[in-house]
Amino acid sequence: MKKTTLFCVLFTLCAALFSTAALSAQERPVPDKTPDPARTENFRSKRYGVFFHYLCGLQNNANHPNSCGKQTSWDECVSDFDVERFADQVADTGAGYVFFTMMQQGETLCAPNSTFDKLTGYRPGEACSKRDLIAEIAEALSQRGIDLYLYWTGDGPKLDKRSAEALKISFPVTTEFIRYWSDVAAEYGRRYGNKVKGWWTDGCYTWFGHTEETIGILAEGLMAGNPDRILAFNPGIDPKVMAYSIHDDFTAGEQNSFSCLPEEGRFLGGAQWHTLSYLGEQWAAPGVRYTAEELAQYIWEVSRRGGVVTIDMVLRRDGSLDEAQREVLKPIRARLGELDAAAEATSEN
């Protein structure tokens, strides 16, 4: 996932240099996991969904276009989000699900969490918002038949000195830090139950020191409150969609373009095949790199082979989506139906 500060880029490069745990995509063993089709069937049936970065550095940064020109406390920023507008505009895209970021690298989270506050010493509203934006979004999307998945990280709020010290964040990551961070995730998991269908977890890189053991500890927290919740852990951008962890129910699939196709059917290393890339010029950025027809044809081909596609879009402070990007996605669901019908007619002849 694109990072928002130069410091983060330098940090990542340094971590890659000192870590002895780094493995290339070609060196990583393919997980030995038996596929469970029923576990990911609902996700697969949605065919495509959308992904949103919601972060203090974007929606609460007056110099960033996603902020609508405003910069306040994080708590006030979260209060400005119009959930009904957001859900209505997501419905316009035809998306079957949403991935929504809860945090990335910093201390600001978009829902209360007493575990985080207790561990770090922050007061309610200082780091975690008082408003439970996730609960409201889950309800609004559910009313429109859209599932909610959340974004989490395997490196925690590492750029916030206070949080990093309190949670014992270091690299390579330690089980002590991961247990703390898993406990924070578990509070959310228990609260949301079956309202949250799964998690896409970034920063689980081998060069951060992540192993099957640390990912497994994190998975326990992410699964709290809903044993049917499905998980993906991001190893970074590979040349193509790759299998990663035995704890993956679906592949993280981060790519810089919509081009990769499932080569082995629906499952890869026991995980549901899934890819994620961006519609704009970069992650969370405006612009349109694909036409509606190009995206529809790609999604249809991935779906025909058993895979799932997630599309990153712009999200503004007020809960609105980028209009140009929304217009590209609007016709896709209907177009998929046309392609399905054409394929069925051809097969009958």
Please list the pLDDT of the chain residue by residue as tens digits (349 residues): 544 443 343 333 343 333 333 455 556 777 889 999 999 999 999 999 999 999 999 999 999 999 999 999 999 999 999 999 999 999 999 999 999 999 999 999 999 999 999 999 999 999 999 999 999 999 999 999 999 999 999 999 999 999 999 999 999 999 999 999 999 999 999 999 999 999 999 999 999 999 999 999 999 999 999 999 999 999 999 999 999 999 999 999 999 999 999 999 999 999 999 999 999 999 999 999 999 999 999 999 999 999 999 999 999 999 999 999 999 999 999 999 999 999 999 888 7
Name the helix (H) or strand (E) containing 153: strand 147-153
The predicted pLDDT at position 339 comes to 98
Distance CA 100, CA 106 (A): 16
The amino acid sitting at 163 is S
The amino acid sitting at 258 is F
Distance CA 55, CA 2 (A): 12
Contacts of 195 (CB under 8 A, 6+ apart): 135, 138, 139, 142, 148
Q: Sign of the C-alpha dihedral, residues 76, 79, 82, 87?
A: positive
Structure tokens at 6: 């130069």
Burial of 281 per CB tally in 10 Å (0-12, 13-18, 19+): exposed
pTM: 0.93
CB 106 within 8 A of CB 77: no
The predicted pLDDT at position 25 comes to 56
Q: Residue 83 — φ and ψ, nearest 5°?
A: -65, -40
Structure tokens at 251: 């592949």
Three-state SS sequence of 158-227: CCCHHHHHHCCCCCCCCHHHHHHHHHHHHHHHHHHHHHCCEEEEECCCHHHCCCHHHHHHHHHHHHCCCC
The predicted pLDDT at position 32 comes to 82
CB 106 within 8 A of CB 156: no
Hey, what domains does the chain have and what are their CATH numbers?
32-348 (3.20.20.80)
Is residue 330 helix, strand or coil?
Answer: coil
Distance CA 162, CA 168 (A): 10
The predicted pLDDT at position 30 comes to 77
List beta partners, residue 271: 268
Answer left, alpha or beta for residue 2, where phi above 0 means left and psi between -120 and 50 means alpha.
beta
List beta partners, residue 310: 49, 276
